[in-house]
Amino acid sequence: MHLGNYLGAVRQWVGAQGDEAYYCVVDLHALTLQIDPAQLRAQTLDAVATLLASGLDPQVCTVFIQSHVPYHAQLNWLLECVTTYGELSRMTQFKEKASRQDGYRVGLLTYPVLMAGDILLYGAEEVPVGDDQRQHLELTRVIAERFNHRYGVTFTVPVATQPKVAARVMDLQEPSRKMSKSISSPLGTIFMFDSPKDIEKKIMKAVTDTDGEVRFDWESKPGISNLLEIYASFTNETPEQIAHRYHRYGDLKRDLAQLLVESLAPHKVRYEALVKDPPYLQSVVADGSLKAASVAGPVYSRAASAMGLI
Ligand code: AMP
């Protein structure tokens, strides 16, 4: 998990957790790109540890693995049959990812439908996501409304919720591109468990501009604005207030690096303890999958029966 995932999505999940909150590790989605089976196996439980280390509490909310609840794959098919090829091929993320590879998988095209199912199975009213997922959330709403109109009211139509700052954390080396785990340069992405030395190096080397003024202005100063938003997301201040306190890029970067190191250190300590205990992680997702299936099953059955399946 990188800093964009945490600030854009996971930190909101932690804030919203409760008895009716469901979070899953989307291992089926991971198959849309080439991934070594051993790596997927290892990364799935690792992702559970990362989420718990970030603050999700399995006593408070439900944490499970997508493929352990078969209704996700089943509802996917029903929803594919109410979604058009045109809608999917217009998705920005699909166009970007497909343009970077030959012979992309059909799953890369249909992934937003699986995601719609992930949401609709739980009657979710709110889905906390980063800015890059807004379009997929909008498609989920279109699919749900179309289904309800065609087959009778079955699904809750969800809305996306986003953090006020850092809904789109940008790559530190290319601030015109979002921070991501796949394509960025090694210096562009801060991972949650980077060493303090790496965090410092990445922040100190972050691309800025030559005008030298610390000002919050995405249009003309994307590099500095990105740093200010990251900074603001760990304080109670706005990016503008932080900008007023600094006159030199170097001072801003040094303080931000220190703030990040201090803020992320407890996550790493919790993560390192959790990964040493796979049986605990397995028991969390076993309980979570049972609870998730008990909610998703009836919703799937309603949808299947509304479409005429006996
Ligand atoms: P993904 O990296 O596509 O698995 O995304 C997982 C979650 O993190 C989604 O809710 C995304 O919207 C969010 N996310 C991913 N990258 C960023 C980013 N650079 N800034 C903010 N949120 C992000």
Residue 50 Cβ inside 6 Å of ligand 1? The answer reads: no
**Tokens of residue 116, six digits:** 């719609």
- C-alpha 268/C-alpha 274 separation (Å) is 10
Q: Computed from CA positions of residues 288, 294, 299, 303, in that sequence, does the dihedral angle turn out positive or negative?
A: positive
Per DSSP bridges, beta strands 62-65 and 22-25 are parallel
Q: Which residue in 95, 164, 178, 205 is the catalytic one?
A: 178
Calculate how far, in angstroms, residue 181's C-alpha sits from the geometric centre of ligand 1.
9
**pLDDT (0 to 100) of residue 183:** 65
Angle CA 166–172–174, to nearest 5: 110
**pLDDT (0 to 100) of residue 102:** 87
CATH code given to domain 3-167+273-307: 3.40.50.620
142 burial type by CB count under 10 A (0-12 exposed, 13-18 middle, 19+ buried): middle
Q: Which residue in 97, 202, 221, 253 is the catalytic one?
A: 97
**Tokens of residue 86, six digits:** 């045109």
Nearest CA to ligand 1 atom 11: 130
Residue 168 Cβ inside 6 Å of ligand 1? The answer reads: yes
Residue 253 designated active-site:
no
Among 177, 123, 120, 111, smallest CA distance to 144 is for 120
**Tokens of residue 293, six digits:** 């299936």
pLDDT in tens, 16-66: 999 999 999 999 999 998 999 999 999 999 999 999 999 999 999 999 999
CATH code given to domain 196-272: 1.10.240.10
> Do the first three CATH levels of 3-167+273-307 and 196-272 match, i.e. the same topology?
no
**Tokens of residue 124, six digits:** 């979710």
3-state SS class at 161: strand
Using the structure block, give the residue that is written with the tokens 């919703």.
Answer: 299
- C-alpha 118/C-alpha 209 separation (Å) is 41
- C-alpha 79/C-alpha 61 separation (Å) is 27
Positions of the chain with pLDDT lower than 50, given as ranges: none
> pTM for the complete prediction?
0.94
What residue spans define the domains of the chain?
Answer: 3-167+273-307, 196-272
Residue 163 Cβ inside 6 Å of ligand 1? The answer reads: no
Which alpha helices (DSSP H) does the chain contain, by range? 3-5, 11-16, 27-30, 37-54, 71-80, 85-89, 92-99, 106-120, 134-151, 196-204, 222-233, 239-245, 249-274, 278-307
- C-alpha 277/C-alpha 254 separation (Å) is 36
Q: Which residue in 95, 181, 205, 276 is the catalytic one?
A: 181
